[in-house]
A and B are shown apart, each in its own frame.
Chain A
Amino acid sequence: MTLDRLGIGAPARIKSVTWDLIAPEEAKRLRALGVDVDSELTVSHRGIFGGGDPIAITLGNMTIALRRSHARAIAVEAL
C-alpha cells in the first residue's frame, strides 16, 4: 500500500521509498525531515479539494505536509 491510500489515524511504517519519483531537492528535504525507510507515521489530515491533496502526516513530534504525488512514491505497511 502507498501512503496516499493510508487511512487517517492508522499507524504505519515506511517499507520503501521510490526516490526516483521525487525531485532530488524534495527527496533531500523529505529525508532531512525524517521521512525515510523504517520511519513510523500516521496520516493526521487531508486537504479539502482534489481527492484529499495535500496530506499531513504525524512523524514523532512533528506534523509534515506533503503532496499526494510524494505520498504515491512511499510504500507503507500498517502496524
Chain B
Amino acid sequence: MTRHRTAALVGNPNSGKSALFNALTGARQKIANYPGVTVERKAGRLILPSGEPVELIDLPGAYSLDAASPDEVVTEKAVQGRLEGEVRPEVLILVLDAANLEQHLVFAQEVLELGRPTVVALNMIDLAERDGLTLDSNALEEALGVPVISTVAVRRRGLDELTAAIAAAETHADDAPNPNWHLTLPERRLAAKTMARAAILSRSARHTVANGLDRLLLNPWIGPLILFAFLFVMFQAVFAWATPFADAIDAGFTALSAFVSSEMPQSILRDFLTQGIIAGVGSVVVFLPQILILFFFILIMEASGYMARAAFLMDRLMAGVGLSGKSFIPLLSSFACAVPGIMATRSISDPKDRLTTILIAPLMTCSARLPVYAVIIGAFIPATTVGPGIGLQGLVLFGLYVSGIVGAMVAALLLRGTLTKGAASGFIMEMPRYQLPRLRDVAIGLWQRAFVFLRRAGTIILSATVALWILLSFPQAQPGQSQLDASFAGKIADGIAPVLKPIGFNREIGLALIPAMAAREVAVSALATTYAVDARTEAENDRGLIARLQASWSLPTALAFLAWFVFAPQCLSTIAVTRRETNGWKWPAFMVGYLFGLAYLFAGITYWSAIALGF
C-alpha cells in the first residue's frame, strides 16, 4: 500500500502563497469546502523530482496559530493534525514575503515551534528587490534552522530548488527541527526583528510604489471617483460584453432543442429532453458569460490589491447597517445576478458578516427582474413625465431598485441585531502591496469559478428544473384544456389561491409564480401561457400580453405584483448557491422564508394602500 503523502503551504495572508500554489500545481486543483465550515479547501498535485506525486494543500492564510477567525482555525488544526478528515501534512512549506520579513517571521517562529519538517519559501524576492532590499537567505537559514529557498512564484523562479527541498525534508521527516523556543508574542516580535535585520544586507531608501498609488486611490476626493469609474466600466462590461456570448449560448440551446425535436418522434420523452433538461440547463448556463466577466474584474481587483482599497473607501457606508467594506463588492455584484454575488462573499472573513451579506444579496435588483418589471410597468404605468426629463415609468423602475436597496439595508440591520448578532463587525484588514495581476492566476481563478458554477447547474439546478417540469407537465391535459390548468402546478395554484387573494393576486398570477421559481423572468412567458397569448415573436408576445393584462388586472394588483418581485426569492439558482455557500439547508430555508414573508407583506401593503387611495 502506498501511503497518502501530503504537504501543506502555510503563511500570512498576502505572502503570495496562492500564486506559489498555482505555480507548483498548475490548473489541476480540487476545490471543496472543509466539512462544517465555509472555508475553501484547495488541494493540488505536486510532482517531486523522483516523479512521485504528493498532495499539496493550500491552507488558508493566517497571522497566527492562535486563531482569530474560522479560516485561521482550519490552518491551526491542520498543521497540528487535529483537523477532522485530514491527515497531518508531512512537510510544511512556510511562505514568507521577502519584503515584509519582520512581520512574517513572527508567524514563522510559531510554525517552526511545531517541530514539523519545514521548508521556507522566501517569496516575492523580486518585489523586495524593487523596494530596494538585498537579502541574505543563508543568514535566515542559519537563524531558522531549516532550508530557505528564494522564490518568485509568478516567474517560476526557485521552484525546482523548492521541490527538491520538499522531497529532502520528506525523506528526513524524523530529524525535523525541534526548537525549544515557546516564546511569548513580544519575545517573538523581538526575535523576528533581530533575524530580519541580520538577513537584510542593504536597504536603499527607495520610496515604494504603493505610497504614491495610495495617495491617489485613497484620496478623499479622487479615490471614490476612480472607484465609481471602475465600477461603471465593470457594469457596462457585465451587461454589454456578455450579451453576444449569452445570445450565442441561448441560440445554441435553442438549436439543440430544435434538433432533438426534429430528430425524435413526438413523445413525453422528447418534451422532457427539450422543455425539461435543455431549456432548464440552458436558462442557467446563459448566465455564465456574465459570471465570468464579473469574476474577471473581481479577480483583477483582488490580485492587484485594489479590492482592499475599495473596501476601505466603502467601509463607513456599510458600517451604518452593521456590515463592513468587504460586503460592498458582493452586494454590488448582486445587481447583475445574486449567484456570483453570493459566490463573491468568500472574500469576507467574518462568518457573521458573510452570512448577513448572503442573506440580503437577493434583495439587490438583479438583471432577471428587469423583463418582469418592463412588462408590468409598460402595461400599467402611463408614459407621462412628472418633471423635466423625468418619466413616470423610469421613476417607478428607479423606485423598485431603491426599495430593494432599502429593504436590504433594513434587513441587514435587523439580522445583525438578532440572528447574526455578534461583536460589531470589525474592519481590520491588511492592505496588500500593489501588484500587477498575472494572467495565469486570473485564468486559473476564472476556470475554478466556471467549474463550480457549471457543476451546480449540472446537479442541483438540473434536478430542480426537472422536478418543476414534472409539476407543469403532469397529468396531461385533455383536449380543449390548457396544460398549465391541468397540471399539478395548476392544482397547487388552486391551493394557494386563497392565500394570495388577500394581496390582490388572482389564480393566473399564482399559476405564473410557480414556473417563475426557476428564474424570475419566466414569469413573463408563464403569464403569456396562462392568458393563452398566441404570438409568433417576442415583441408581439409582449404587446399581446400587455393588452390582456390591462384587461384583467386592476392597478392595485399590478403594483402589488411589482412589490412582490422586489422581495420574492424566485430563483432556484440563488437558493442552490446559498445552500452550497452556507453548507446546509438551514440558511437557504430561512432566506426563502423571510423573503417570501417580506414579499407577501409588501405586496399586501401595496395592494391595500392603492385601494385605500382609490386607484
Residues of chain A touching chain B, judged by Cβ–Cβ distance below 8 Å, are 23, 25-26, 28-34, 36, 44-50, 53-54, 56, 60-67, 69-70
Contact = CB atoms under 8 A, between A and B. Distances in A.
B428 A50 contact: no
Contacts of B428: 26, 29-30, 33, 64-67, 70
Given A32-B64, A54-B312, A61 B430 contact: no
Contacts of B210: 63
Interface of B: 63-64, 66, 68-69, 99-100, 102-103, 106-107, 131, 185-186, 189, 210-211, 214, 218, 220, 223-224, 308, 311-313, 315-317, 319, 325, 423-424, 426-431
A25 B425 CA distance: 11
Residue in A46, A54, A56 with the greatest tally of chain B CB atoms within 10 Å = A54
A47 B103 contact: no
Contact of A25 (B214, B220, B311, B423): B423
A54 B315 CA distance: 7
Given A47-B313, A54-B312, 17 more contacts: A26-B428, A29-B69, A33-B103, A45-B218, A47-B315, A48-B313, A56-B431, A60-B102, A62-B103, A62-B430, A65-B311, A65-B315, A65-B427, A67-B315, A67-B426, A67-B428, A70-B426
5 contacts: A23-B426, A36-B186, A56-B431, A66-B427, A67-B315
A33 B423 CA distance: 19
B402 to A, nearest CB: 20
B316 A64 contact: no
Contact of B102 (A61, A63, A64): A61
B106 A34 contact: yes
CB-CB nearest 5 A-B residue pairs = A23-B423, A32-B63, A49-B316, A28-B68, A32-B64
Taking chain A's interface residues, is the majority helix, strand, or loop, or is none over half, making it mixed? mixed
A28 B102 CA distance: 18
A65 B308 CA distance: 9
A23 B428 CA distance: 12
Contacts of A56: 214, 218, 312, 431
Given A45-B312, A60-B100, A70-B426, A32 B68 contact: yes
A13 to B, nearest CB: 14
A32 B186 CA distance: 10
A56 B99 CA distance: 19
Contacts of A67: 315, 319, 426-428
Contacts, number: 110
Nearest to B14: A62
B111 to A, nearest CB: 13
B474 to A, nearest CB: 53
Contacts of A49: 316-317
Contacts of A64: 428-431
Contacts of A63: 210, 214, 430-431
B189 A26 contact: no
A31 B428 CA distance: 11
Given A61-B102, A62-B100, A33 B313 contact: no
A64 B426 CA distance: 13
A37 to B, nearest CB: 8
A68 to B, nearest CB: 9
A25 B103 contact: no
A26 B349 CA distance: 12
A31 B185 contact: yes
B428 to A, nearest CB: 5
A75 to B, nearest CB: 17
Contact of B316 (A28, A45, A53, A66): A53
Contacts of B317: 49
A67 B312 CA distance: 10
A33 B220 CA distance: 25
A8 to B, nearest CB: 11
A30 to B, nearest CB: 6
Nearest to A46: B220
Given A25-B68, A28-B64, A63-B214, A53 B319 contact: yes
A26 B211 CA distance: 26
B66 A28 contact: yes
Among A26, A46, A48: residue with most chain B CB under 10 A = A48
Nearest to B422: A23
Contact of B100 (A30, A61, A65): A61
B106 A47 contact: no
A11 B102 CA distance: 19
B326 to A, nearest CB: 10
